[in-house]
């Protein structure tokens, strides 16, 4: 890593645009006699050459009034983050002209608790405890953060960091995943000892850390680390019952390990993970449209993070639904429906939004549908219509969940014939949807048509008749308004 050669230079590469922003903030604070240091993730990512649009500053004056004045100076918005501890944010919204700061950046200002070395000693991990004076100069590194950056190691600043804030337990694993680092041995031991403290953390903060961990392109190692350190049991105790629950012989892993490996399979299918046969990706129905879709935002995170969470939870109810059949086989009857209910409870505890929880629940309810739509043949148009009608906005997610489930069921014993047939079914279903969306057709009948023709009052019955017409149309059984009317007449027994 590059070291600073002279005061006024930053010890890491800074773009022209960012340098202009930092210089403007430096002039503003200097005019007020305020000493400021760049700290935290901004400095860490600077040394690592990672792009960041978040600037962390520690200032020698109350941060809230400073940020309130700085916001209009930079043509940004002021946000109060913590009144008592004097933490504020300035979100930049200008277009990046000569007089304004570049759009898309945000600056977090926190009031110093003493000398900068004292402030750094109270931080969470050594890689976040390096500071640089705003304006440039030598790095201030009282706890060895630069050496840990070189070692690619996440090490706690002190033994008490997790007692001070138990959310740091998850943050250690999440940071390791984001940066491609390892949690240092003694820090890992302390996490294991303090894992029970996670239960006292607000659900919103747990959700934030979990989703950031699952946003990492290769998320499965982080999930395994959470389990190894005892964090997964504290975060999602519902999964514990799945440990050691054996499955039918076509499954390579027990229910718990299968659930974790389904996350690994999702990593693999999205092109980032390993652990499955390379040839399995060759027949996978992937497209740029799918790639764009998994990056769509859902409540502040890419859709793929919520998808991977569903992969982890999709068999959550298998332990309580396991039953031995008269023929000696094992079945998990009703595990999809019960799993959907269990997921709603778990995600509610972690303060997921209603939409997020319902999307996960819907994926779990329907995760077996793609393999149940047909046997040895391609699904019919009627079956495909019903599938998209029932799954709504999570239809594609369900299709890919079924593939990840397949990979994580067979594991190293994956059979090419079965896998290729499964991917062919998914590709066929997706193609049928694309054809339907490419040529949207007007309705053959409206609710008013049915009410007028048959003297029916408005209500659920009319909606159901319209569904029957649309389903028959999708199946190629009716094409005209007259045929649709005859179908309704038949349904009504007239």
Q: Work out the average pLDDT over 16-33.
A: 93
Residue 24: its pLDDT value, please?
Answer: 94
Asked if pLDDT for residue 416 goes beyond 50, the answer is yes
pTM beyond 0.95: the answer is no
> Does domain 152-235 bear CATH number 1.10.110.30?
yes
What CA–CA distance (Å, rounded) separates 370 from 68?
Answer: 54
Q: Is the pLDDT of residue 4 over 50?
A: no
Q: Which CATH class is domain 16-151?
A: alpha beta
Q: Specify the pLDDT at position 7.
A: 46
Cα–Cα–Cα angle for 473, 475, 479, rounded to 5 degrees: 35
Confidence of residue 421 (pLDDT cuts 50, 70, 90): very high
Buried b / exposed e over 84-115, threshold 16 CB at 10 Å, is: eebbbbbebbeeeeeebbbeebbbbbbbbeee
Q: How confident is the model at residue 101 (pLDDT cuts 50, 70, 90)?
A: low
Q: Where in the chain is the domain with CATH 3.30.460.10?
A: 16-151
Contacts of 180 (CB under 8 A, 6+ apart): 152
| Mean pLDDT over each residue of the chain, to the nearest integer | 89
- Inform me whether the pLDDT recorded for 2 exceeds 50: no
- CATH 1.10.110.30 domain locations along the chain: 152-235
Q: Determine the pLDDT at residue 174.
A: 97
State the pLDDT at residue 439. 47
Residues 115-146: pLDDT tens digits? Answer: 999 999 999 999 999 999 999 999 999 999 99
3-class SS at 253? coil
Nearest-angstrom CA–CA distance, 357 and 344: 6
pLDDT for residue 389: 87
User: At residue 100, does pLDDT exceed 60?
Assistant: no
Using an 8 Å Cβ cutoff, are 354 and 447 in contact? Answer: no
pLDDT at 404: 96
Average pLDDT in the 347-376 region? 94
Answer whether residue 437 shows pLDDT above 70.
no
Which has more confidence, 444 or 209?
A: 209
Closest CA to 111 of 78, 63, 40: 63
């Amino acid at each position: 890593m590059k070291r600073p050669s002279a005061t006024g230079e930053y010890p890491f590469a800074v773009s022209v645009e960012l340098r202009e922003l930092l210089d403007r903030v430096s002039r503003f604070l200097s005019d007020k006699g305020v000493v400021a240091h760049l700290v935290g993730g901004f400095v860490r990512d600077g040394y690592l050459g990672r792009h960041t649009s978040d600037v962390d500053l520690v200032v020698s004056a109350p941060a809230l009034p400073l940020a309130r004045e700085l916001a209009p100076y930079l043509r940004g918005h002021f946000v109060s983050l913590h009144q008592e501890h004097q933490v504020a944010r300035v979100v930049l919204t200008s277009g990046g002209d000569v007089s304004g700061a570049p759009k898309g950046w945000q600056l977090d200002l926190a009031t110093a608790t003493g000398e900068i070395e004292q402030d750094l000693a109270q931080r969470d991990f050594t890689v976040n405890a390096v500071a640089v004076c705003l304006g440039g100069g030598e790095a201030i590194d009282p706890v060895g953060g630069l050496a840990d950056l070189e070692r690619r190691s996440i090490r706690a600043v002190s033994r008490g960091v997790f007692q001070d804030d138990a959310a740091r337990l998850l943050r250690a694993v999440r940071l390791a995943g984001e940066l491609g680092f390892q949690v240092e041995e003694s820090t890992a031991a302390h996490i294991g000892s303090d894992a029970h403290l996670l239960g006292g953390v607000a659900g919103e903060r747990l959700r934030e850390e979990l989703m950031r961990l699952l946003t990492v392109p290769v998320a499965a190692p982080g999930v395994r680390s959470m389990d190894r350190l005892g964090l997964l049991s504290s975060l999602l105790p519902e999964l514990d019952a799945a440990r050691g629950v054996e499955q039918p012989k076509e499954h390579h892993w027990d229910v718990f390990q299968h659930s974790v490996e389904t996350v690994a399979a999702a990593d693999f299918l999205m092109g980032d993970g390993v652990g499955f046969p390379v040839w399995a990706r060759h027949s996978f129905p992937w497209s740029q449209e799918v790639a764009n879709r998994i990056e769509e935002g859902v409540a502040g995170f890419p859709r793929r993070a919520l998808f991977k969470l569903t992969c982890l939870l999709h068999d959550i109810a298998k332990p309580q639904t396991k039953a031995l059949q008269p023929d000696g086989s094992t079945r998990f009857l009703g595990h999809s429906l019960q799993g959907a209910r269990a997921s709603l409870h778990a995600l509610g505890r972690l303060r997921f939004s209603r939409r997020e929880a319902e999307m996960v629940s819907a994926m779990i309810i329907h995760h077996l549908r793609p393999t149940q739509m047909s046997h040895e043949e391609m699904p019919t148009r009627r079956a495909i219509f019903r599938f998209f009608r029932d799954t709504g906005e999570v239809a594609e997610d369900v299709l890919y969940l079924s593939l990840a489930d397949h990979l994580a069921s067979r594991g190293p014993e994956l059979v090419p014939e079965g896998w290729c047939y499964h991917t062919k079914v998914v590709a066929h279903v997706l193609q049928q949807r694309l054809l339907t969306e490419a040529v949207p057709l007007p309705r053959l009948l409206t609710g008013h048509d049915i009410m007028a023709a048959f003297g029916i009052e408005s209500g659920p019955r009319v909606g159901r008749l319209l569904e029957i017409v649309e389903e028959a149309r999708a199946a190629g059984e009716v094409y005209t308004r007259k045929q649709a009317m005859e179908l309704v007449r038949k349904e009504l027994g007239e």
